[in-house]
Each structure stands twice: as C-alpha cells, then as structure tokens.
C-alpha cells in the first residue's frame, strides 16, 4: 500500500477542495434566491447549479468560466421564474475571486509546499484563479486551467494536458497524487488516466453531492481525508514530524 510520502507532486483541484465554492456560490446566488418562488433550500439550489454548470461546460467547452457562470445564472433565473437581470448575471459570473478559502487551506498548503511540488488543474479561467490564489497564500509550481486547455473536467483531455506538461518537466505518472473533493470532476477521470488520488471529503458531514454532479458508480480513490488539515496530519504521522 502506497504512502503519502511516496509522491513528489500534488496536483489539486481548487474549487470545493481549497476554495469553499459552495459557500461562495450560495452568497453570490442570494439576491436571486431571495426572489425565487417557491423558496429553495441550500442543497436544492446547489444541485440546480450543478446541473446547469455541467450542462453548459459540456455544451460550450471553450467558453471562459466567468462567462459560463453568467450564463448559468441566467438559466437559473429562468428555471426559478425570476425576471432576468443581465447585470446580476454578470456579477455572479465575476464572483469567483470573492469565494472564500477553506480555513485550513493556506496553512496546509504552506506545509505541503515544503514537501511536494504543487500544481493546480482547475475548471476556471486564469483571471478568476488569480483572485483565488491570493486567498491561498502559496505559489503553485504550475497552474492549468480550462481556459488553457479548451475543455472542462471531467473531460479526459484536461488530465492528458496536465500529464503531458508535467512529463515535459520530467515528472512521471507514479510520482503524482491528484488531490480533490469532486469524485465526478476529478477522481473518476484521474483514475482512468492512471493517477493515484486523495479524496478531500469536504462534505463528509452532509448528504448528497452539493454543487457537483453525482459521480459514476465506479469512482474510486486511494486515500480519503475529511480536510486538507487531516491530510497534513497523516503526512506528519508518516514522516515522524
């Protein structure tokens, strides 16, 4: 059985793993939710977001994420019977830099940076990620976004792109541990690409899948932690630190 210390590179999903996107999404959706009839509970709103986001990513894989979110907001307003408001749609699209980091993310990343190369593979655009990166307080060794690749996870092309770029740097497949919350977006395609994975199960105390689509039934992972801090603690225990 492999250990965390066997790997040299951690490739991260960002949103849902490092950034608390569900809190950010709900805060940015609140003006729309206040006008929706009937009123929606939090997870019902997140599940509607997941449906529309996933469908839009599949339909327009080259659309910049901030623009894609603008369209998702418009579609949600239509579904919920709310009068359309283009300026509100655009504010939602621009909200990613406002989404908060999980409280443990900056310190955990600071620790992990001392032991691994850190890489981002994210379903956003470069400008949106730059805003989030300021909240995380660490310099990543590489950042690959949907804008760079021209498709959105779980498209296998995103993992092929990342692995190709890392191979150019002399990094072998077996040296990489893909670290993510979403079984749908990340673990299923990462395992198909031959990667080992660590599930950061941020929703371990909640039912359902929230802002991500349900995963395929064959989704698996190699490690599971309730938080990034728990992953750090496991690494420290392994290493005797």
Counted domains in the chain = 2
Residues 125 and 135 in one domain: yes
Residues 90 and 206 in one domain: no
Residues 132 and 225 in one domain: yes
Question: Pairing relation of β-strands 142-145 and 223-225?
Answer: unpaired
Question: Pairing relation of β-strands 9-12 and 117-122?
Answer: parallel
Identify the domain containing residue 214 by its residue range: 4-20+100-239
Any idea what the CATH number is for the domain that residue 39 is in? 1.10.150.750
| Listed residues 37, 70, 98: the one ending a domain | 98
Active site residue 155: no
CB 116 within 8 A of CB 10: yes
Residues 153 and 69 in one domain: no
Q: How far does CA 68 lie from the centroid of its chain?
A: 15
Any idea what the CATH number is for the domain that residue 209 is in? 3.40.50.1000
Residues 128 and 66 in one domain: no
* Intra-chain end-to-end CA distance of the chain, in Å: 21
pLDDT tens-digit profile of 27-75? 999 999 999 887 787 799 999 999 999 999 999 999 999 999 999 999 9
| Listed residues 98, 128, 148: the one ending a domain | 98
Residues 93 and 191 in one domain: no
pLDDT along the chain (241 residues), means of 10: 94 98 97 88 91 98 98 97 95 98 98 98 98 97 98 98 98 98 98 98 94 93 98 95 72
Determine which one of 6, 13, 89, 104 is catalytic: 13
Residues 165 and 80 in one domain: no
């Amino acid at each position: 059985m492999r250990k965390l210390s066997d790997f040299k590179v951690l490739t991260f999903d960002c949103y849902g793993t490092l950034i608390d996107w569900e809190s950010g999404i709900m805060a940015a959706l609140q003006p729309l939710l206040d006008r929706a009839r009937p009123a929606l509970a939090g997870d019902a709103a997140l599940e509607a977001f997941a449906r529309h986001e996933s469908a839009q990513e599949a339909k327009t894989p080259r659309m910049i994420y901030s623009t894609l979110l603008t369209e998702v907001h418009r579609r949600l307003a239509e579904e919920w019977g709310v009068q359309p408001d283009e300026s509100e749609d655009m504010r939602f699209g621009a909200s990613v830099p406002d989404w908060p980091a999980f409280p443990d993310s900056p310190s955990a990343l600071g620790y992990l940076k001392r032991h691994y190369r850190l890489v981002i593979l994210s379903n956003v655009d470069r400008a949106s990620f730059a805003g989030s990166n300021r909240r995380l307080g660490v310099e990543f060794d590489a950042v690959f976004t949907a804008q760079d690749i021209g498709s959105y996870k779980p498209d296998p092309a995103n993992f092929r792109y990342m692995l190709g770029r890392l191979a150019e740097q002399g990094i072998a497949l077996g040296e990489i541990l893909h670290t993510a919350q979403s079984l749908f977006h990340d673990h299923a395609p990462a395992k198909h690409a031959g990667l080992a994975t660590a599930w950061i199960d941020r929703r371990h105390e909640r039912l359902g899948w929230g802002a991500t689509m349900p995963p395929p039934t064959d989704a698996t992972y190699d490690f599971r932690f309730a938080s990034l801090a728990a992953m750090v603690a496991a690494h420290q225990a392994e290493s005797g630190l």
